[in-house]
Amino acid sequence: MWRKIYILLCAGIIPFLAKAQESHNIQDSLVEVSGVTLTADSSMNIPNVSILIKGTDRGTISNNDGVFSIVALKGQQLIFRAIGFKTKTVHIPADIKGNHYGLAELMTEDTTYLPETIVRPWPTRSEFADAFLHWKIPETQYDIARENTDPRKLRALSYYVTPDGAEGVNNTFNRQFQAAQYKGGFPPMNIFNPLAWAQFIQALKNGDFKQQQ
């Protein structure tokens, strides 16, 4: 009778002990890897570095100060990736004592040299030849400034530039003011203005209209 009881107790205790031992082994194999990612040449913090556990879909990202923390198994490998830096793989030692492992990971900048690219404003060779032969390019900064401030050029551009908010308000107020001045009456007509006729006759004598033609 006691023998059967002993066998039943052993049959119930042994799986429990095995499960407890397995849980203890798993906990002992886990390690929290924490540290900081730095540049190899100047030891500056590198933010937003992705840290992945190789062979799994688990990982983390370092914060703005380059600090990170991730739980992995002892003996696994961590892959560090960041834009502008070379990818680096770090092996977690399998014989770590305890469940914490500190790491200061130095990453090397990955410099990529691109071939020379010459950007020209002419889309085709024929347009470049036409511009080279016929375009008149100002020779000095003074010539460029004088051309950009030419009254005729500014006047022509003014027809295509819409007024801003302040100009629009001023124009509206001026029209309202003029309308209020002649409210209830008729605005003056320059055809009956003797001063306007005098200016017109003087302009004819001076030949102003011929010059405009």
The reply to whether 55 falls in a domain is: yes
Do 85 and 17 touch, CB atoms closer than 8 A?
A: no
User: 129 and 100: one domain?
Assistant: no
| Final residue before a domain boundary, out of 107, 137, 159 | 107
Structure tokens at 63: 């914060």
Q: Which domain holds residue 99?
A: 29-107
User: 130 and 204: one domain?
Assistant: yes
User: 82 and 39: one domain?
Assistant: yes
User: 58 and 103: one domain?
Assistant: yes
**Which pLDDT does position 153 carry in this prediction?**
85
The reply to whether 92 falls in a domain is: yes
User: 131 and 95: one domain?
Assistant: no
The reply to whether 167 falls in a domain is: yes
User: 136 and 63: one domain?
Assistant: no
Q: What's the pLDDT tens digit per position in 156-175?
A: 887 777 777 888 888 888 88
The reply to whether 93 falls in a domain is: yes
Q: What's the pLDDT tens digit per position in 171-200?
A: 888 888 877 877 777 777 767 777 778 888
200 compared with 61, residue with greater pLDDT: 61
The reply to whether 72 falls in a domain is: yes
> Among 14-28, 48-62, 132-146, 176-190, where is mean pLDDT lowest?
14-28
Q: What's the pLDDT tens digit per position in 78-130?
A: 999 998 899 999 999 988 888 899 999 999 998 888 888 887 776 777 887 88
How far is C-alpha 34 from the chain's CA centre?
30
pLDDT value at 53 more than 80: yes
Distance CA 94, CA 115 (A): 45
Q: Is the pTM of this model over 0.85?
A: no
The reply to whether 101 falls in a domain is: yes
> Residue 171 phi/psi, 5° resolution?
-65, -40
User: 200 and 133: one domain?
Assistant: yes
The reply to whether 80 falls in a domain is: yes
Q: What is the CATH number of the domain that holds 47?
A: 2.60.40.1120
| Final residue before a domain boundary, out of 55, 74, 107 | 107
User: 179 and 138: one domain?
Assistant: yes
User: 75 and 35: one domain?
Assistant: yes
What value, to the nearest 5°, has the Cα angle with vertex 88 and ends 27 and 67? 60
User: 102 and 174: one domain?
Assistant: no
What is the arrangement of strands in the sheet containing 100-107, beginning at the earlier edge strand?
67-73, 30-39, 100-107
45 compared with 136, residue with greater pLDDT: 45
| Final residue before a domain boundary, out of 107, 133, 166 | 107
Into how many domains does the chain fold? Answer: 2
Structure tokens at 196: 């306007």
